[in-house]
Amino acid sequence: MVQKGCRRVCYFPSWIQKCCGNHYGRDCQVCPGGIESPCNNHGNCSDGILGSGKCTCNKGFKGSACDQCSAGYYGTNCTACDNCGKWGNCDDGIQGSGKCVCRQGWTGENCQLEIPPELCSEYNGGCHQNADCNQTGWTVNCTCQFGFQGDGFFCEPINRCIQEQNGGCSDFASCKFVGPNKRDCECLPGYVGNGVQCLEKVVPPVDRCLQDNGDCDPVATCKDLHYHAKTAGVFHLRSPSGKYKMNFSEADTACTNEGATLASFKQLGDAQQLGMHLCVAGWMDGGKVGYPICFPSLNCGENHVGLVMYRDPVPQSSKYDAYCYRLDDVSCVCPAGFVGDGYFCNGVLMNVLATNSNFSIFYQSLLDYSGSSSEGKELIDFLSHRTSEVTIFVPPNTGFAPNQTLSGRDLEYHISASQNRRTFKDLQNHHVIPTRLGYNLTISLGHNETHKMVNERLVLDWDIPASNGIIHIIEAPLMAPPVRVTISIFLLLMCILAGVGFSIFRRKTDAFRFHYFKVRERERETKLLPQIDCSHISTS
């Protein structure tokens, strides 16, 4: 029987000391690494009232709080290093990279490769002294330096004068070796330039009009176009559309329209030597493109002096200006009162006849005619008058037979009436030309249009101009037709003879008659004389 206030099982309350997790010791201290990450989560903490608080670290970690890497481990996770062999050590530790740090003389990812010695450091690695030594592992590569050639173990200087055609100098220059891959180019005597480009030295032009009037007619005004332009006949031509608007064919045509051709390399070179300086590219003969430079400029030819040439071949469709060469080197102009192209200047017809040796017989016949009659003098004056405008058919000296002469009438028959200038084209079949003699000349055709005849005399040459007419050369002289005797002239002569006869008869009979018979006798004779009216008779 249980007494009141007693229990069958007795309980005695008591206090037991205990630490929370991640705490240790009688004072329940926090494990290394802190409450949140004891042992930095890289190990286990000995916690509890009886714990020591030490961390038992995972593999690869060490330290009181497992915050360091063991030897041979690296990084924040203390990863195991690769095997660096006996010639290297791992860069371990929490801050390490894990790479192998090789000992001197070794290399490679695991320090497995021995580093060869500096072979190029002694005797240039066996290379030539003018070669560059490059070492790859245990292998040495030798390369000749710039300006030298060879296999690297032997290098010799490059002689451009031999390696290239004349060393890259002009064909008109001498090449001199001055060092490895270096040479000097010097133009030969008679040439000028930088050696790479040598132009034939131009002879300073002289005014060709000073000698023989530049081959112009003696009376013409001569002007040397090349001398006065001072560019040896070369001139720059630009399209009316503006700069660089002509391809090659268009440039060629443009020069032709100016009485010129595209300038050659030499012609433009001569112009450059005389002072032509233009920083403008232009077409040249042969499809070349270039321009002349007299003084160095970075903006024009990169300081090159001479002809700056574009590299061949230049596409013919490219657009540039043009450099033309004037074909006519002199200009000849006839003075007023003369006709011709300047290389010949003809004055009036008499002057042309006088100065042409082939017309000397015909010209002398005119002078003889002038000296023997007033009609001849009148004819000379007519041929010398500037407003006559006539056509003369002149036989050459070879057309005259031996000792053949021309009468005044023959000469007048060779000359048309005034204001009858007829060119060769005007001489049409059956065309009639009145002459000063009063008779007509008739044109006929031979085998074709170029075979024309005047009164059956073949026209050999034609259209020789004069300021007051034109001359055609015929194969032989023209002979004037005989004088025409008409009935009117015959009756006139009969009247004259009858009058003379009557006068003689009257004088003979006057001596035998008395004076008082005279009147009656005259009256009778008047009645007996035939009544002939001569007032209407003409001499045509």
For the segment 256-292, what is each residue's pLDDT rounded down to a tens digit?
Answer: 999 899 999 999 999 999 899 999 999 999 999 999 9
Bridge partners (DSSP) of residue 178 are none
Model pLDDT for residues 58-113, shown as the tens digit of each residue = 999 999 999 999 999 999 899 999 888 889 999 999 999 999 999 888 888 899 88
Q: Are 47 and 22 in contact (CB under 8 A)?
A: yes
Q: Are 389 and 418 in contact (CB under 8 A)?
A: yes
- Torsion over CA: 306, 308, 311, 315 (sign): negative
Alpha carbons 224 and 210: distance in angstroms, whole number: 9
In terms of CATH, what superfamily is 374-474? FAS1 domain (2.30.180.10)
Query: Which CATH architecture best describes the domain 123-157?
Result: Ribbon (2.10)
pLDDT band at residue 516, thresholds of 50, 70 and 90?
very low
Phi, psi of 322 (to 5 degrees): -140, 150
Model pLDDT for residues 391-426, shown as the tens digit of each residue = 999 999 999 999 999 999 999 999 999 899 999 999
- Torsion over CA: 122, 126, 128, 131 (sign): negative
pLDDT band at residue 365, thresholds of 50, 70 and 90?
very high
CB proximity list for 206: less than 8 A, separation 6 or greater:
227
Helices (H), ranges, 187-258:
225-229, 248-257
Most confident of 32-36, 244-248, 482-486, 527-531: 244-248
Task: Report residue 274 as tokens.
Answer: 């005389």
234-328 to CATH, choices 3.40.1190.20, 3.40.50.2030, 3.10.100.10, 3.40.140.10: 3.10.100.10
Q: Where in the chain is the domain with CATH 2.30.180.10?
A: 374-474
Q: Are 120 and 132 in contact (CB under 8 A)?
A: no
- To the question of pTM greater than 0.75 for the whole model, the response is no
Q: By C-alpha distance, which of 204, 230, 223 is closest to 328?
A: 223
- Taking phi over 0 as left and psi of -120 to 50 as alpha, with beta for the rest, 404 belongs to beta
Q: Tokens 């006929």: give the residue.
A: 444
Q: Tokens 């000073």: give the residue.
A: 210
Bond before 313 cis per omega within 30 degrees: yes
As a CATH number, domain 161-200 is: 2.10.25.10
Confidence at residue 21, expressed as pLDDT on a 0 to 100 scale: 87
Instruction: Between 510 and 281, name the one with better pLDDT.
Output: 281
Q: Are 47 and 53 in contact (CB under 8 A)?
A: yes
Q: Where in the chain is the domain with CATH 2.10.25.10?
A: 123-157, 161-200
| Run of H or E residues at 89 | strand 88-90
Q: Are 454 and 478 in contact (CB under 8 A)?
A: yes
- Distances in Å between the Cα of 28 and the Cα atoms of 49, 50, 64, 474 are 6, 9, 18, 154
Task: Report residue 108 as tokens.
Answer: 């490679």
CB proximity list for 30: less than 8 A, separation 6 or greater:
22, 23, 38
Burial class (CB in 10 A: 0-12, 13-18, 19+), 121: exposed
Q: Tokens 């949140």: give the residue.
A: 36
Instruction: Between 446 and 90, name the one with better pLDDT.
Output: 90
Q: What is the dihedral angle through the alpha carbons of 183, 188, 191, 193, rounded to the nearest 10 degrees?
A: 10
Q: Where in the chain is the domain with CATH 3.10.100.10?
A: 234-328
DSSP state of 416: B
Helices (H), ranges, 373-452:
374-384, 408-413
Alpha carbons 525 and 532: distance in angstroms, whole number: 14
